[in-house]
Structure 1
Amino acid sequence: MNSREKNDTTAITATDVDAPAELPDGGLQAWLQVAAGFLLFFNSWGISSSYGVFQAYYETHLPDASVDAIAWIGSIQSFLLLLVGVLVGPLCDAGHIRALATAGIVLIFLGFFAASFATRYWQVLLAQAFCVGLGAGCVFIPAVALVPQYFSRRRALATGVVTTGSSVGGVAYPVVFQSVLARAGFTWAARALAFVSLGTNAFTLAVLRPRRRPGKKMARRWCVKLDLPAYRDRSFVLYSIAMFFNCWSYMAPIYYLQQYALSFKTPGQDVGTAEYLVAILNAGSVAGRIFPAWLAGRFGPVNVLLGVSVCVSVVTLCWIAVRDGGAGIIAFAAMYGFASGGLTSLPATVVATLVPDLGVHGTWLGMVSMTNAFASLSGPPIAGALLEATGGFLGVQLLSGLGMVVMTLFVAALRVSRVGKTQGWIA
């Protein structure tokens, strides 16, 4: 009996659930699940990656709250989105994807609708940070947990398509918010987002068909356990640390790029495209998610993740050289979106490569998300505190850029750790 069988804290295994062994790797039903996952990402990470427009709005309409206090709204939202994964991941392995998706969809709608009535900081915090964050956490891992149930050879590509949902959501949500805000005010802008989430997710529930359903053994379980032996796996530990620094650094440009562009505008000057920088950034990441996912199928997800990490580190540090709020910042937003896209599309595929048993794929994703949650909670507020303390953006830029460099070093160590564990150089 090996250590995985002996350890009482072992998570759900593939034998606990009813899961067919043969994967279709295509077909209408399989691609409909990709569409469902796309929309779940649209309404989870798409919302989270749109927070920059709210950051800029709340700074002028919640004058009693500091810059870093407002950043806590988005940080707590991202924190819960990721932290809930440690509970949601094993439940996905147990076959409860539909129930989780339904709960998340309801919470996201209620959160945005409640935010439309908010006039104080604490009200926004409860509605947008806690309610929307918990809802997004319920749908995020089900979105990527669907793919391994239907795809094998095309898994990386299918996952890449799913994760582009966050890019499209990151374009749609800011544009809808800014458009309705200009015409009808914040109340209806928030309600518009609530109805966008509800309408798109209605299609999700209509086509969602998980192949893995709760087995009899899982029906009797009510608790969720971590797969602690994973923390003795060197590759998993290196990957978890790398993703911690990714999440710690990734959100700073999304939160503060619009403010950076507006800092170059004089009072009364037209803000131009500054209000749409978050949408431009997310539009750039659409190709940045699909292309690395396609490459991962040919060269291995760990190899491609290393290349993406190097590129995003260089691009993020180039933010320091951008000295205008016009063409330069637009170009940076598009380049950062493209370069960082793979940091969202590749992780689930990398975990599927590292995990010894796909029956605990969701559990491992949840464990990585738990680590990432604390990075997302601390990164943007620290950046906001640096901005307030220094009165300039250099601290924010260095925090994000150097964090990406550290991530790259750990991804390189992960690649080295895979030597001898894969056939040839593909990893």
Structure 2
Amino acid sequence: MSRSSTSDEVEKEIGFDKQTSQNFNTEEHEDLAEAEQPAFVVHDDIEKSGGPADYDGASLANVQSEKPSVNNIKSVPNGGGIAWLQVLCSFFVFFNTWGIINAFGIYQEYYTKGILTSSSPSDISWIGSLEAFLLMIVGSIAGPIYDMGYVHELLGVGSVLIVLGQMMLSLCSNYWQVILAQGVSIGIGTGCIFVSGVAILSTYFSTKLATATGIAASGSSIGGMLYPIIFYKLQPTIGFAWATRVLAFVALFTLGISNLALRVRVIPSSRRKFLDLPAWKELPFLFFNLGSFFTFIGLYAPFFYIQSYVLDAGLMEPDLAFYLLAILNGASTFGRLIPNYIADRVGPFNVLTPCALMCAILQYCLISAHSSASVIVIIAFYGFFSGTLVSLPATCYVHLAGPTRRGLIGTWMGMGFAFVSLGILCGTPITGAILGVSSFKYVWVFGATFELVGSVFFVLSRLAQAKWRIWVKV
């Protein structure tokens, strides 16, 4: 047997894929791709024996790989300085993605009385909904690009679009201009960087993944709290244009840290598929996405409209009403940390499901909230429980895929985000249309009812994932 034929057979035996290696056109990408391959060593004795047919098989032995594998859970650091530095990077990614979207309530109120007074509440809501929709849908498209190794390219392009959109927003005076700057540019930018913040943590943490994700996801709460405060305090003194530019500089500084400090540990060795249609036949995955879809239709009604509600009802003075959004997002910080810490011990589904139900109950309670104290208490609790619905889904997708299908996590997450984005896109504009023809009572009824339907599907997903058992960690 010739030397070349022997080499080809060995390569075939150990699963070496030449076509796969062509997907990476830089040395860095090739190194990351090799990390995905099983770790074997080929002994020189194999050639001395005349080839694999004459050898006893001991020449192919599992050894400890010098490079980590995305499918090898034992190789995941699950802690350490570099790993927690990635949590900081992911924190600032959340800060400038969901944090910006959570802050849209301050713009919703300002636009109705400022530069977009001629636009209806529903029209204005489309700006924030489009922003959130593009975050999710572009994020699902960016997933395969992330898998190809272009992580820093995605982060850089997204950062530029966010800062550029914020700067252009400071020059806007018409509805279509705001749509392009805030809805499209910032929306696409957040979609480009969001996948990096989510995916990077699953390669650095295993048993501590929910805790790490919760800490990172708290950035969306901090951003949703700080961005409105900065805008509200600066706008009366320096005007809309410069207040908006200050927010752009904040985004530039925080995203600069993520661009400099983010480190890719490993990426899959082959391009991820956009679709894995058989996944929709699995009941846990199907029910989970239906639950997320219905929940997110109603989730953001308080974020967008609570300030307008208390002002129209005369329950608070403007200065106090403004802080409702800060209270909501501030409480959401703890809703990302405490439940995620518990989720590592009892399972993410066992935490997510009751939190979704509590959000529905609390939004129903807003119907009977006719005092400033009652509104503050409800909003604080709503912020806490809603924080879980934003931070835990990524961890749930990891559990849905399981340890044997970690290579499909990105695909499943992308499909789920794309589906859920439709709920985000239509949710708040519908509530704005309801408000245009009725009252806030029916806004809360609409939002709470969809959250209730979503929590039912979460229950079904949890039961299906646990093989219909109740007292198990899942």
- Alignment match, 2:426: 378
Tell me which amino acid in the other structure corresponds to 2:370. R
Note the 1:96-135 alignment, pairs <5 A. 96-135=150-189
For 1:214 and 1:353, locate their aligned partners in 2 and report how far apart those are by CA, in whole Å: 18
Greater Cα offset, 357-366 or 28-37: 357-366
Aligned residue for 2:118, secondary structure, equals coil
The answer to whether the 8 A contact 2:273-2:411 is kept is no
Note the 1:269-308 alignment, pairs <5 A. 270-308=317-355
What do residues 38-68 of structure 1 show as CA deviations (whole Å, max 9, x unaligned)? 1000000000011000000001121221110
Question: Are 1:389 and 2:437 counterparts?
Answer: yes
For 1:423 and 1:395, locate their aligned partners in 2 and report how far apart those are by CA, in whole Å: 35
Question: Are 1:24 and 2:77 counterparts?
Answer: yes
Tell me which amino acid in the other structure corresponds to 2:117. P
- Alignment match, 1:246: 295
Question: Are 1:59 and 2:112 counterparts?
Answer: yes
Tell me which amino acid in the other structure corresponds to 1:385. A
- Alignment match, 2:239: 185
For 1:344 and 1:35, locate their aligned partners in 2 and report how far apart those are by CA, in whole Å: 18
Tell me which amino acid in the other structure corresponds to 1:229. P
RMSD (CA atoms)? 2.0
Question: Are 1:345 and 2:391 counterparts?
Answer: yes
Note the 1:18-417 alignment, pairs <5 A. 18-19=35-36, 20-21=68-69, 22-61=75-114, 62-213=116-267, 215=269, 218=271, 225-265=274-314, 270-324=317-371, 326-356=372-402, 357-390=405-438, 392-417=439-464
For 1:235 and 1:214, locate their aligned partners in 2 and report how far apart those are by CA, in whole Å: 25
Q: CA deviation at 1:85?
A: 2.0
Greater Cα offset, 246-255 or 86-95: 86-95
Aligned residue for 1:185, secondary structure, equals helix
Tell me which amino acid in the other structure corresponds to 2:428. P
Give % identity.
38
For 1:421 and 1:378, locate their aligned partners in 2 and report how far apart those are by CA, in whole Å: 33
Q: CA deviation at 1:110?
A: 0.4
Larger Rg: 2
Unaligned runs of 5+ in 2: 1-22, 24-31, 37-67, 70-74
Tell me which amino acid in the other structure corresponds to 1:140. F
Cα distance, 1:384–1:243 mapped onto 2, change above 3 Å: same
Q: CA deviation at 1:18?
A: 4.0
For 2:293 and 2:470, locate their aligned partners in 1 and report how far apart those are by CA, in whole Å: 28
For 1:282 and 1:17, locate their aligned partners in 2 and report how far apart those are by CA, in whole Å: 42
Greater Cα offset, 111-120 or 352-361: 352-361
Q: CA deviation at 1:213?
A: 4.3
Q: CA deviation at 1:274?
A: 0.7
Greater Cα offset, 48-57 or 16-25: 16-25
For 1:168 and 1:277, locate their aligned partners in 2 and report how far apart those are by CA, in whole Å: 14
For 2:319 and 2:141, locate their aligned partners in 1 and report how far apart those are by CA, in whole Å: 43
Q: CA deviation at 1:224?
A: 5.8
The answer to whether the 8 A contact 2:296-2:451 is kept is no
For 2:466 and 2:322, locate their aligned partners in 1 and report how far apart those are by CA, in whole Å: 46
What do residues 378-416 of structure 1 show as CA deviations (whole Å, max 9, x unaligned)? 0000000000111x1011100111111101100111112
The answer to whether the 8 A contact 2:99-2:223 is kept is yes
For 1:329 and 1:423, locate their aligned partners in 2 and report how far apart those are by CA, in whole Å: 35
Aligned residue for 1:263, secondary structure, equals helix
Q: CA deviation at 1:422?
A: 8.7
For 1:330 and 1:423, locate their aligned partners in 2 and report how far apart those are by CA, in whole Å: 35
Tell me which amino acid in the other structure corresponds to 1:45. W
For 2:471 and 2:454, locate their aligned partners in 1 and report how far apart those are by CA, in whole Å: 25
What do residues 352-383 of structure 1 show as CA deviations (whole Å, max 9, x unaligned)? 00014222212211111101111111000000
Aligned residue for 2:300, secondary structure, equals helix
Tell me the matched-pair count.
Answer: 405
What do residues 286-323 of structure 1 show as CA deviations (whole Å, max 9, x unaligned)? 11111110111111111111121222222121111111
TM-score, normalising length from structure 2? Answer: 0.82
Unaligned runs of 5+ in 1: 1-11
Tell me which amino acid in the other structure corresponds to 1:38. F
Q: CA deviation at 1:17?
A: 7.0
What do residues 133-188 of structure 1 show as CA deviations (whole Å, max 9, x unaligned)? 00011111211111110001111100111110100000011011111102111001
For 2:332 and 2:225, locate their aligned partners in 1 and report how far apart those are by CA, in whole Å: 10
Q: CA deviation at 1:278?
A: 1.1
The answer to whether the 8 A contact 1:96-1:213 is kept is no
For 2:234 and 2:414, locate their aligned partners in 1 and report how far apart those are by CA, in whole Å: 36
Structure with bigger RCO (C-alpha 8 Å, 6+ apart): 1
Tell me which amino acid in the other structure corresponds to 2:364. L
The answer to whether the 8 A contact 1:100-1:139 is kept is yes
Tell me which amino acid in the other structure corresponds to 1:52. G
For 2:123 and 2:34, locate their aligned partners in 1 and report how far apart those are by CA, in whole Å: 44
